[in-house]
């Protein structure tokens, strides 16, 4: 069996997800090729700018056309049984159309499998793209019903961890007090800025992409700028007394136009994320790595999976988290006990297990 993975995704968090699925397929003996669509558009745009002597950061129609053409070349040369699209966002409708239409000219048409990893943050795009997939998997359980109206072959696929990377190091030296690595969405910035970190009795370290934090921000003195590779994040989890996990509180609704010369010219409107049930992959990765974590209480799956081994706090009450950090900072034995239980509870929820399930359902 041959699988081609298309990576129309971000260059950090969902990039890791695509890489973990690629590794899992290869471990299962599947012939796997990768086409990093998002990176290809950037390269094509750089080439166009160099040719024209311009400095246009927006990806115009020509860059998209060239990236689509290269993508189809990969498909034509590899003749996959399955084209597996990871995340599926920041992907052009023309690309979806080409992938779907090209199958008409093949003796053995491939199946299109779409794995949504960012539900429920961009629902309008996910519903729009569902029409082109033969099989859909989503990380948000409450979104399955909406997607099934467009594609009945839709299933919930839980967030996971990579069992070759996310492993505990129980004896690691602790060099961080309280640690959070993620993206700087407004809800997170507002919440973390309202914490009196001096009152927690713990140090605070903030990593990831936080472009809106400048010298005027109360978080500036805690922020270590720059992308952090996932393998380095695992080391940070090992070295942290308390790992914070804060789910996003805002999503984006996109207004689609008939013609899309520029993906980023779409009209976007923010909305508050409510009624989401599924936890993020950070919860899985911290537990698998043996970290002790404090998580916001917005996702019901946290309690279902972890019980009281992962304490939760309300994002409407910053003082609660402040008190919890102070409490657990003084109790290393209790932290260790809960971390070991959380690790046990998440065992087996891996990308390898997810990949086996996908292939079984798709018929690979």
Q: Do the Cβ atoms of 185 and 250 come closer than 8 Å?
A: yes
| Cβ neighbour number for residue 101 with a 10 Å cutoff | 11
Angle at 50 between CA 48 and CA 53, to 5 degrees: 105
Q: Report the mean per-residue pLDDT for the chain.
A: 91
**The predicted structure's pLDDT at residue 264:** 44
Q: Considering the domain boundaries, does residue 171 fall inside one?
A: no
Q: Which residue has the higher pLDDT, 75 or 268?
A: 75
Residue 165 counted as domain residue:
no
Residues 242 and 331 in one domain: yes
Same domain, 358 and 263: no
Per-residue pLDDT at 231 exceeds 60 = yes
Handedness of CA 36, 10, 161, 129 (dihedral sign): negative
Does residue 167 lie in a domain region?
no
Cα–Cα distance, 189 to 209 (Å, whole number) = 12
d(CA 76, CA 334): 56
DSSP tag of 264: G
Determine what percent of the chain is predicted with pLDDT higher than 70.
94
Q: What is the CATH number of the domain that holds 137?
A: 3.40.50.2000
Per the CB < 8 A criterion, the answer to whether 281 and 149 are in contact is: no
Question: Residue 196's closest CA among 311, 313, 320, 316?
Answer: 320
Give yes or no: residues 332 and 353 share one domain: no
| Residue 73 shares a structural domain with residue 210 | no
Own/partner contacts of 133-136, CB < 8 Å, gap of 24 or more, are 133/85, 134/362, 135/111, 135/358, 135/361, 135/362
- 195 and 331 together in one domain: yes
Whether residues 146 and 218 fall in one domain: no
**pLDDT at residue 261, as a whole number:** 44
Top-confidence range, 126-135, 227-236, 330-339: 330-339
107/194 same-domain check: no
Is 166 part of a structural domain of the chain? no
Instruction: Domain of residue 186: give its range.
Output: 176-346
**Distance between CA atoms of 99 and 48, rounded to whole angstroms?**
24
Q: What does the alpha-carbon distance between residue 135 and residue 112 come to, in Å, rounded to a whole number?
A: 7
**Is 97 domain-assigned?**
yes
Domain assignment present for 168: no
- Tens digit of pLDDT for each residue in 55-72? 877 666 788 889 999 999
On whether both 222 and 77 belong to a single domain, the answer is no
Query: Do 267 and 245 sit in the same domain of this protein?
Result: yes
Higher pLDDT, 7 or 112: 112
**Domain check: are 294 and 215 in the same one?**
yes
Q: In this structure, are 144 and 189 located in the same domain?
A: no
- Give the chain's domain count: 2
Whether residue 317 is contained in a domain is answered as yes
The Cα–Cα gap between 95 and 103 comes to 13
Instruction: Give the pLDDT band of residue 88 (cuts 50, 70, 90).
Output: confident
Ordered strands of the 82-86 beta sheet? 31-35, 2-6, 82-86, 111-116, 135-138, 154-156
- Give the per-residue pLDDT at 140: 96
How confident is the model at residue 328, as a pLDDT? 98
Please check whether residues 17 and 153 belong to one and the same domain.
Answer: yes
């Amino acid at each position: 069996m041959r699988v081609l993975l298309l990576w129309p995704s971000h260059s950090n968090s969902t990039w890791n997800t695509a890489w973990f699925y690629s590794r899992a397929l290869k471990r299962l003996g599947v012939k796997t090729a990768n086409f990093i669509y998002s990176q290809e558009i950037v390269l094509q745009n750089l080439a166009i700018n160099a040719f024209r002597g311009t400095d246009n950061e927006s990806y115009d129609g020509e860059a998209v056309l060239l990236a689509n053409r290269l993508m189809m070349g990969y498909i034509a040369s590899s003749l996959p049984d399955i084209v597996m699209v990871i995340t599926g966002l920041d992907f052009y409708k023309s690309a979806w159309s080409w992938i779907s239409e090209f199958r008409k000219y093949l003796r053995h048409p491939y199946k299109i499998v779409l794995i949504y990893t960012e539900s429920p943050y961009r629902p309008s795009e996910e519903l729009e793209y569902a029409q082109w997939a033969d099989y859909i998997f989503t990380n948000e359980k409450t979104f399955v019903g909406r997607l099934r109206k467009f594609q009945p072959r839709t299933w919930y696929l839980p967030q996971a961890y990579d069992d070759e990377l996310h492993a505990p190091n129980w004896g690691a030296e602790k060099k961080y007090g309280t640690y959070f690595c993620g993206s700087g969405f407004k809800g997170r910035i507002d919440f973390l800025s309202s914490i009196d970190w001096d009152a927690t009795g713990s140090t605070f370290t903030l990593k990831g992409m936080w472009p809106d934090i400048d010298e005027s921000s109360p978080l500036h003195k805690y922020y270590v700028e720059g992308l952090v590779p996932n393998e380095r994040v695992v080391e940070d989890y090992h070295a942290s007394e308390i790992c914070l996990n804060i789910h996003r509180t805002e999503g984006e609704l996109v207004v689609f136009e008939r013609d899309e010369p520029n993906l980023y010219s779409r009209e976007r409107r923010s909305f508050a994320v409510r009624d989401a049930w599924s936890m993020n992959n950070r919860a899985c990765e911290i537990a698998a790595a043996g970290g002790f974590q404090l998580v916001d209480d917005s996702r019901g799956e946290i309690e279902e999976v972890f019980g009281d081994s992962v304490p939760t706090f309300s994002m409407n009450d910053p003082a609660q988290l402040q008190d919890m950090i102070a409490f657990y900072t003084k109790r290393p034995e209790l932290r260790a006990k809960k971390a070991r239980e959380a690790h046990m509870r998440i065992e087996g929820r891996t990308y390898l297990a997810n990949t086996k399930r996908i292939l079984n359902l798709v018929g690979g």
